[in-house]
A and B are shown apart, each in its own frame.
Chain A
Amino acid sequence: MHLIPLALALPLAGAGVLVLLSRPPLARLANVVAVGVGVATAAVCGYVFDKVLHGGMLVYWFGAWNPATHVGIGIDFAVDATGAAAALLAAVIATLVILYSVEYYKDSGPLFNVLLLVFMGAACACFYTGDLFDLFVFFELSNIATFALAAYKVQDETALDGALVFVIMNSIAAFAILFGLTLLEGYTDQLNLATIGQYLSVHPMQAVAVAAFALATCGFFLRSALVPFHFWFADAQSSAPSPVCALFSAITVEIGLYAFARVYWAVFSGVFHPGDVLRDVFIGFGSFSAFSGAILAFGAHHLKRLVAYVTVSHIGVALVAVGLFNAQGMAAALLYMLAFSLSVSALILCVGAIVHMYGKADEVGLWGRGRRMPFVMVLFLISSLDAAGLPAIGTYVGRAMLLSVPSSGTLVWIAAVTLFTASVTGGALLKAVGAVWLGLGEPDPELTHAKKSQEKRSEEESDQPESRELGWHLLLPPAILCAAASVVPMLPQTRSIASRAAMEFVDRAHYYAMTVYGHATAVSATVPNTPDFAASTVWGVLALIACCLLALASLYQRRMGRLHSLAVALSKPIEMFERLHDGQVGDYVTWFVLGSALLGGLLFVSYK
């Protein structure tokens, strides 16, 4: 049990040691140390997960400041099965990313790994913490580590632009969260999630609850790149180094969604009862993200932007699952996010391999050039199918759970959202496979022309050698992630763990009793839903057909007279939507304020 703080302490200490090893002759040793610390942290997370699974929730009070009465003055790590699993996933993905960047950043020295380790510790702590202010602190710590990682290529203008947008937007999100939590602290005089939740449910007060919930939610949603708070995401993704992008899509986005769910269930579920209005609000936000992300992904020509929009779309589906506000929905969200984070990190690492080979990531410039990397194609293809859950791997189980949640009114809508997301994002990813690796169809002549003239201008800059070798460091991590995404979510054990974890997660009384008294009666059990595999398979097959058709249609559109004019007509609004992502911080801040006002207003209405 006392191993829990090691999940934070190990990577931070490792980062410190690594700074000492940053002299060139020790670089090889530094890489070994970095990977070793990552593996050790993952092992600690695995141990904690195993403990929690068999012994129930673990609460660790720093400095043994246990709560004497009902007031917890100390700071705690309250680890339940959900948090432990999420931290384990984050630690494993981060370790693989460190292994990957050994090759990727051969020349840049171990400081890159120092930041990766700091991020890893902060991410684990975000999933473990039971204290609202610490949630903010670890959130900021992971933020600052990723800020520096995003701006790592300081000689690259686009990297700086993307990093600037990223830092400013995420800082504003953190301040919104801090503002909300300060209001809560002022009203309840507590900082512990469990005791705040208890106090609020006994002494509800509308103004504080609505303001704090709205502010914190906006901050978390910005981090999880949900529309309309997602604008910074594609910019940061397209300009940051690929290993960092994998962290964005596979970990930071999940931290945002996890923090939202945690804060809702531990703190606000006593005052915002999961009624129909609240459900509609969040399912609405999620669906909006799912639809817009999928459409934007289909219009994207830059591989990293493409994956960024795919993330926006799938995180929207996960929010729909969380937004059902019951244990079954939460279980579906857990399975869905597990499969998606594994597959999306594999996708990004594959893109990273291409960038490593050719020094660029746009479809037009890479048309047909991936033929020399068949193994990467196989990985990318399988991960694409995993991400879309087609026909029966990856997010398939999460979708099956989601489609069987007993809330009949919204079921048709949810089915439509999942079908749309799976087919359109799947189509977008398959289109990329067809274009980059198989060289099917032909690139848009306008884009090719623009590209040519641009390349002429920057001919001197692009001195990337084309004959780079792909080391095993670049292939092994995506292969592991891709295999895990295909297998792990399909195991029956994973499903039963997710169901149990979700029941524990949504039980506020249990969380409170475990935190304050250290023991509690059994979790109030809800009947776990049996996943609707039939529906999910039918949807999977339908979506697979739809996405193959979409991909082929978009690759060969110029050969299909009438279809081509339809495609051109359809692409106009998509282009206009894409043009809103103009990289201007001012515009993004305005969108943030508008989105917050909308969310705040809706929450005010749904309070009862």
Chain B
Amino acid sequence: MSFFPYAVAAWVFFAGLYGVATSKHLVHMIVSLSVVQSSTYILLIAVGYRIGSGAPIFIDLPPSRKPAVDAIVQALSLTDIVVSAATTALLLAIATQVWRLKNQVDPDSLRSRKS
């Protein structure tokens, strides 16, 4: 088991967080959030991977002698992508609405309370 994929996942996670924290544009911020989430795809695929094993397809292929990679985490990453699509769609809808109301896409202009 190599530690390289874990390092990549952690790097992508923090790169995304850095993007969210320093963003100057709402769409950029939303994409950065997707980057944070992408790190979990990498991690999910990485933990299920076994060197030298085949795809986890057992139905219409001749049974191979090789072991298969973990099918569960691949299903989990699909679920994860669905979640990501829902969140991103909702956020983009909010962002377009903010643009429509305020002509403003800079997150620094957000003031959720009136002083």
Contact = CB atoms under 8 A, between A and B. Distances in A.
A138 to B, nearest CB: 11
Q: Is the interface of A mostly helix, strand, loop or mixed?
A: helix
Given A183-B47, A454-B114, A178 B80 contact: yes
A175 B21 CA distance: 16
28 contacts: A133-B79, A137-B79, A137-B83, A144-B86, A147-B87, A151-B90, A154-B97, A158-B111, A158-B114, A161-B112, A164-B94, A171-B33, A171-B36, A172-B33, A178-B40, A178-B80, A179-B13, A185-B72, A185-B76, A186-B47, A191-B72, A238-B113, A239-B112, A305-B113, A583-B110, A584-B107, A585-B21, A589-B21
Contacts of A155: 101
Contact of A164 (B46, B73, B98): B98
A587 B22 CA distance: 9
Contacts of B114: 158, 454
Interface residues of B, number: 45
A156 B14 CA distance: 33
A133 B101 CA distance: 38
Given A185-B73, A238-B112, A239-B112, A175 B20 contact: no
Interface string B58-89: 00000000000010110010011001001100
Contacts, number: 131
Shortest beta-carbon contacts, A-B, top 9 = A186-B47, A583-B112, A235-B112, A161-B112, A589-B21, A162-B112, A161-B110, A586-B21, A182-B43
B2 to A, nearest CB: 12
A590 B21 contact: yes
- Dominant secondary structure of chain B at its interface with chain A: helix
Nearest to A163: B94
Interface of B: 9, 13, 17, 20-23, 26, 29, 33, 36-37, 39-40, 43-44, 46-48, 70, 72-73, 76, 79-80, 83, 86-87, 90-91, 93-95, 97-98, 101-102, 107-108, 110-115
Contact of A593 (B17, B40, B73): B17
Nearest to A141: B83
Contacts of B44: 182
A168 interface: yes
A167 B108 CA distance: 16
Contacts of A175: 13, 36-37, 39-40
Contact of A182 (B20, B73, B91): B73
Given A163-B94, A164-B94, A584-B110, 16 more contacts: A137-B83, A147-B87, A148-B90, A161-B112, A167-B91, A171-B33, A178-B40, A179-B40, A183-B43, A185-B72, A235-B112, A238-B113, A239-B113, A450-B115, A586-B21, A589-B20
B79 A179 contact: no
